[in-house]
């Protein structure tokens, strides 16, 4: 390893540039992984992490809760579905509110009729609402004027809601989100727009009867009418408009970054090997086994990948704790491990091309002057 380290210390700029390039690539990949996950969680976390196994939209809603409206006859129809255990209303509205910090901001309010049909599945702190004017908030917003015990005022009516519990990852549309009892939701809507009548529920939350799977219930409900669009909890989250686009876009981005990495490392080690072929030939001629020279090359590759990854991680870690607009970023441990493995394989794999070149070097060239160019 003496040779490998000596060479690197003599060519600091070159090895340094490679390491920096890798580090920045790692940083971008990890950051965008956090961005993607944060984006999706903040867009549909409220759907993923609520209690109802099945959500019933109107086809008109195009799988957007706020766009969906369940008319009384559709609601009646759903109650007749085979395999239905229980059903409750969910209403959603976006309101201008004054938060606990006194700032005017947007808030999504989700009203549910029954705790097991639309409330956050798990609380991180506090309790579920018991009385009118109480809500569960998203822990991601807790530092942004939506903390436990804070009172939120809906503008311009002045209707007040107090946060009594907090749940993780339950935002909708990347903004502050409050879960309230359905009656509170109705009151909030009417306070904000006096012209509004009694709002219709946006979606229905349903649970299958014993022995019926959510998928069966979905099929049964969808069979009732072309105007009903029932989805399991996870489908409802994944099929929300924009989610698939985000995933596809990031897939293309990750693929491109993934291609750049082996190209950069592979090219680097190939050129380096080519440039020092004279020295390598000499080393082979004085008796260095080819295996030793390859090991030295791979050792450098490993070192560069590790150092590059460390730089990337060092840039990524502080940023991964931050909030970006309404999006809470998070340190994605899985992504960090998976990308470390991918990078290791790609980085080392691409340097094998250079290793093949080392193995092909013929020590006899040293005596014929082939190395002395």
Q: How far is the CB of 291 from another protein (least distance, A)?
A: 25
Cis peptide bond N-terminal to 277, omega within 30: no
Question: What is the Cα–Cα distance from 373 to 67, expressed in whole angstroms?
Answer: 74
Give the nearer residue to another protein in terms of CB position, either 166 or 307: 307
Q: How far is the CB of 108 from another protein (least distance, A)?
A: 11
Residue 150 to residues 108, 128, 145, 188, Cα–Cα distance (Å) = 16, 15, 7, 17
Q: How far is the CB of 365 from another protein (least distance, A)?
A: 16
Q: How far is the CB of 296 from another protein (least distance, A)?
A: 18
Greatest CA separation found in the chain?
Answer: 97
- Adjacent-strand bridge partners of 339: none
CB atoms within 10 A of CB 53: 20
Q: How far is the CB of 122 from another protein (least distance, A)?
A: 28
Give the nearer residue to another protein in terms of CB position, either 12 or 127: 12
Give the nearer residue to another protein in terms of CB position, either 245 or 333: 245
Question: What is the Cα–Cα distance from 132 to 114, expressed in whole angstroms?
Answer: 14
Give the nearer residue to another protein in terms of CB position, either 18 or 297: 18
Question: What is the Cα–Cα distance from 128 to 141, expressed in whole angstroms?
Answer: 17
Task: Give CB contacts under 8 A, 24+ apart, made by 248-255.
Answer: 250/32, 250/36, 253/32, 254/29, 254/32, 254/33
From 297, 296, 295, 311, select the one nearest 343 (Cα to Cα).
Answer: 311
Q: How far is the CB of 294 from another protein (least distance, A)?
A: 20
Give the nearer residue to another protein in terms of CB position, either 146 or 268: 268
| In 212-289, alpha helices (H) | 214-224, 233-238, 243-275, 277-285
Give the nearer residue to another protein in terms of CB position, either 204 or 207: 204
Residues 313/30, Cβ–Cβ less than 8 Å: yes
Q: E strand or H helix at 23, and its extent?
A: helix 12-48
Q: How far is the CB of 351 from another protein (least distance, A)?
A: 14
Question: What is the Cα–Cα distance from 174 to 349, expressed in whole angstroms?
Answer: 40
Give the nearer residue to another protein in terms of CB position, either 137 or 308: 308
Give the nearer residue to another protein in terms of CB position, either 259 or 337: 259
Question: What is the Cα–Cα distance from 19 to 309, expressed in whole angstroms?
Answer: 8
Q: How far is the CB of 106 from another protein (least distance, A)?
A: 5
Crossing angle of helices 333-360 and 243-275, in 10° steps, is: 30
Q: How far is the CB of 249 from another protein (least distance, A)?
A: 5
Q: E strand or H helix at 165, and its extent?
A: strand 159-167
Residues 206/56, Cβ–Cβ less than 8 Å: yes
Give the nearer residue to another protein in terms of CB position, either 24 or 290: 24
């Amino acid at each position: 390893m003496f040779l490998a380290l000596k060479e690197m210390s003599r060519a600091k700029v070159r090895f340094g540039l490679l390491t920096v390039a890798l580090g920045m690539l790692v940083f971008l990949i990890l950051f965008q992984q956090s961005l993607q996950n944060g984006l999706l969680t903040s867009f549909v976390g409220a759907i993923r992490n609520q209690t109802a196994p099945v959500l019933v939209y109107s086809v008109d809603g195009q799988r957007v809760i706020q766009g969906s409206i369940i008319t009384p006859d559709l609601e009646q129809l759903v109650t007749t579905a085979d395999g239905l255990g229980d059903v409750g209303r969910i209403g959603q509205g976006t309101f201008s509110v004054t938060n606990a910090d006194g700032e005017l901001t947007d808030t999504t309010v989700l009203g549910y009729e029954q705790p097991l049909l639309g409330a956050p599945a798990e609380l991180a702190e506090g309790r579920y609402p018991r009385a009118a004017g109480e809500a569960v908030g998203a822990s991601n917003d807790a530092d942004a004027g939506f903390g436990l015990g804070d009172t939120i005022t809906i503008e311009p009516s002045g209707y007040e809601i107090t946060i009594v519990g907090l749940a993780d990852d339950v935002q909708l549309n990347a903004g502050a989100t409050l879960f309230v009892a359905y009656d509170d939701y109705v009151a909030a809507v009417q306070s904000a727009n006096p012209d509004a009548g009694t709002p219709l529920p946006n979606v229905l939350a349903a649970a299958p009867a014993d022995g019926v799977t959510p998928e069966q219930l979905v099929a049964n409900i969808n069979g009732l009418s072309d105007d009903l669009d029932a989805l399991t909890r996870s489908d409802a989250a994944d099929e929300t408009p924009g989610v698939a686009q985000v995933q596809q876009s990031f897939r293309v981005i990750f693929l491109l970054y993934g291609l750049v990495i082996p190209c950069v490392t592979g090219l680097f080690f190939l050129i380096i090997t080519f440039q020092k072929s004279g020295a390598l030939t000499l080393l082979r001629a004085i008796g260095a086994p080819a295996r030793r020279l390859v090991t030295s090359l791979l050792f450098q590759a490993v070192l560069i990948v590790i150092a590059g990854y460390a730089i990337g991680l060092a840039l990524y870690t502080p940023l991964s704790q931050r909030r970006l607009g309404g999006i809470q970023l998070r340190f994605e441990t899985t992504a960090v491990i998976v990308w470390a493995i991918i990078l290791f394989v790609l980085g080392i794999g691409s340097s094998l091309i250079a290793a093949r070149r080392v193995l092909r070097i013929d020590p006899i060239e040293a005596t014929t002057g082939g190395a002395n160019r």
